[in-house]
Amino acid sequence: MRHYGHLTPARRRALFHQEPAEFGPASPVDTIGIALGATLYSPATRPHLAADIRKQAASGVVSMVLCLEDSISDEEVPGAEENLVRQFAELAGAAAPGDLPLLFVRVRTAAQIADLTARLGATAALLTGYVLPKFTAATGPAFLEALTAAEVVSGSRLLAMPVLESPELLHLETRATGLTATARLVDKYRERVPAVRLGVTDFCAAYGLRRSRDMTAYDVHLVASVIADVVNVFGRSDGSGYTVTGPVWEYFRGQERMFKPRLRNSPFSGRHEELRARLIEHDMDGLLHEIVLDHANGLLGKTCIHPSHVAPVHALSVVSQEEFSDAADILGPGREGGGVLRSAYTNKMNEVKPHRAWAQRTLLRAEVFGVARDGVDFVDFLAAGVA
């Protein structure tokens, strides 16, 4: 699979200077973490889940989580497990593995991992891994040990995506020790962890908060502070870090606004003005703003609960021609000694040593999301993604 693989080759050539590379469940774990993009969550109770998965893959979704946890009620769990087994059997008979997204199952308990993997049987080969909720240094070992055992049963690699969402990782008096201990545990299973996910809804719940459609996660200071601390511990660029994914955007249909839209007219002027109106109508301007802040704060990819959120996440993940040019200059031959360069775009300085880690990360993102042609911007990718 590849990002924007649902577009025709001619359309991709028109958009990309460097097209996104292919990747899959067997790719290096770090590549998968960067490539996750918009990870679409779906309740495991959906009666036509297999068809839904194929439909989303055909529209550009490359990673999905089939949820047995908070998206369904306690009494629905047994039926949801049975449904997953049936739907995986249908998928195995109707689609080639390369035509499917990376598929993860979000469980409630460690015991579900072994049980569900055994019940899936040969169709577990379609499973990329499990999402581990309420993950801490105390709860994590059982999940990770169960995953290791299930991998032996399935005969194929199974990856783990821990979700940091427990109150002890938010509360001030336990946050530092909790995050540090959790990081030590995750490090022992580094080869299985493509990304660490943030459960911001649960963090808000610990204080009875819910951000409105007019606010990003970064406007809620309690949430912003824990995001900063998670990136501080898990997102370092010294080789010890992981991809940390962005929080869920809860809204997908517009209502009466209190504040002005966040999208300027000029990027859409004369070409995609109707698209701008649609984005604002459905509160996507708030989502776009939050994605930009995610990137600025060291997060990549995002938990999504609606298919309409996928295109904005992917459009803003494509590396611009300007970013690519700056990164290539910083990492160019003979730059190891440092120094300062004027950007080829003559609008900024590129300081080789301080900007080196950024440049390396940018080129990794360029590999999986591609590089835009000169003159092509996020609006063009948004239009391609929602067409």
Which pLDDT tens digit goes with each residue over 99-148? 899 999 999 999 999 999 999 999 999 999 999 999 999 999 999 999 99
Tens of pLDDT along 201-222? 999 999 999 988 888 999 999 9
State the pLDDT confidence band at 324, using cuts at 50, 70 and 90. very high
Burial 216-251 (b: 16+ CB within 10 A, else e): bbbebeebbebbebbbebbbeeeeebbbbbbbbbbb
For residue 95, what pLDDT is reported? 75
Tokens of 283: 């509160």
311: phi then psi, degrees, rounded to nearest 5:
-60, -45
Tokens of 344: 């080829």
For residue 257, what pLDDT is reported? 64
Q: Is the dihedral of CA 367, 368, 373, 379 positive or negative?
A: negative
For residue 254, what pLDDT is reported? 62
Q: What is the pairing mode between strands 129-132 and 102-106?
A: parallel
For residue 23, what pLDDT is reported? 97
Dist CA 186 CA 271 (whole Å): 47
Dist CA 330 CA 19 (whole Å): 21
Cβ proximity of 312 and 382 under 8 Å: yes
Q: Which DSSP letter does residue 109 get?
A: S
**378 has pLDDT over 60:** yes
Q: Pick left, alpha or beta for residue 283 (phi over 0 → left; psi -120 to 50 → alpha; otherwise beta).
A: left
Domains, the chain, ordered by start: 23-318 (3.20.20.60), 322-369 (no CATH)
Tens of pLDDT along 294-317? 999 999 999 999 999 999 999 999
Burial 56-73 (b: 16+ CB within 10 A, else e): bbeebbbbbbbbbbbbbe
What would you measure as the largest C-alpha separation in the chain, in angstroms? 63
For residue 387, what pLDDT is reported? 54
Tens of pLDDT along 236-294? 999 999 999 999 998 877 666 666 677 777 778 777 777 777 777 667 888 999 999 99
- 214 marked as part of a ligand binding site: no
Computed over every residue of the chain, the mean pLDDT equals 92
Q: Among 176-190, 230-244, 321-335, whose mean pLDDT is lowest?
A: 321-335
For residue 260, what pLDDT is reported? 66
For residue 258, what pLDDT is reported? 61
Dist CA 73 CA 384 (whole Å): 37
Dist CA 340 CA 110 (whole Å): 51
For residue 284, what pLDDT is reported? 81
Mean per-residue pLDDT, 340-349: 87
pTM of the model: 0.93
| Terminal Cα-to-Cα distance of the chain (whole angstroms) | 20
304: phi then psi, degrees, rounded to nearest 5:
-125, 140
CA dihedral 118, 188, 356, 293 (to 10 degrees): 60
Cβ proximity of 143 and 135 under 8 Å: yes
Task: Quote the percentage of the chain above a pLDDT of 70.
Answer: 97
